[in-house]
Amino acid sequence: MKILGCSGSKMDNKFPTTIQLNKRILIDAGNIMGLGKKAQYIDYIFLTHSHLDHILDIPFLIDNFFSIRKLPIFIFGLEETLMDLKKYIFNNQIWPDFNQIDLLNHQFKAIMFIPIEEDEVKVIDNITIRSIKSNHIIPTLGYVINEETIFSGDTYKNDVLKQELQNKNIKNLIIDVSFPSYLEELAKVSKHLTPTSLKEFLDEVNRKDLNVYIFHLKPQFEEDIKKELQKLNVTILKQGDII
């Protein structure tokens, strides 16, 4: 898994959430175009939710490679997530509705939206991707990759995630920490974690053998969050990291 973006916003050389599982598969779409021309090989995008930092580069992906694609870009997500994309992005006002536009010389639509539900399994290129419920302010998914690594999606404390982590086959957890602990109330209202609430959650999970990776730090609070996280046995992800 390669981290193409892991920031909680876009600033300077920090880019929003995008995890590349292989040449063709992504989770979220905050920094697809950072791949340059290699982005043309992306065929499958699994979305956690419809917030802008997680869908940002889908319009640019299809815009840049529409003329050379032979197959659609398959976008998986909750029905609510896909409806948001159709209503607010691919609506022929903000961006052309590529869901209704045929590829050149091919009888496929440029984009295909595929609804998935919680606890649904897809297997692509021998990679197993299972959706789980997240705990965010809008309907949101996390994903379990090959029953080995969990990507939490944007989340606050999450009983479903806690239960999933009782499975000893899960070795890696990529989890959201967006705000410093002095903004605990803001984090709780917006349903993100702080170092304090993360520690509380991990104490409940009680897994000493778990590799914990942190993503989604808000750039304006990054240094404060990093100082706090030094007290925990976690790794803060940066763009380009490989898990």
Return the pLDDT at 107. Answer: 87
Phi first, then psi: what are they for 237, rounded to 5°? -70, 150
- Under CATH, domain 2-236 is a member of which superfamily? Ribonuclease Z/Hydroxyacylglutathione hydrolase-like (3.60.15.10)
The 3-state DSSP class for residue 94 equals coil
For residue 179, CA distances in Å to 14, 15, 134, 204 come to 16, 17, 18, 20
Return the pLDDT at 181. Answer: 98
pLDDT of 106 higher than 90 = no
pLDDT of 1 higher than 90 = yes
pLDDT band at 64; cut points 50, 70, 90: very high
Q: How many CB atoms sit inside 10 A of residue 57's CB?
A: 27
pLDDT, tens digit, 9 for 90 and up, residues 180-217 = 999 999 999 999 999 999 999 999 999 999 999 999 99
pLDDT of 113 higher than 90 = yes
CB-based contacts of 48, cutoff 8 Å, min separation 6: 17, 27, 28, 54, 77, 81, 134, 140, 141, 142, 143, 151, 153, 154
The 3-state DSSP class for residue 80 equals helix
Helix axes 222-229, 195-205, angle to 10 degrees: 40
pLDDT, tens digit, 9 for 90 and up, residues 18-44 = 999 999 999 999 999 999 999 999 999
When the pLDDT of each residue in the chain is averaged and rounded to a whole number, the result is: 97
Whether the CB-CB separation of 104 and 115 falls below 8 Å is answered with no
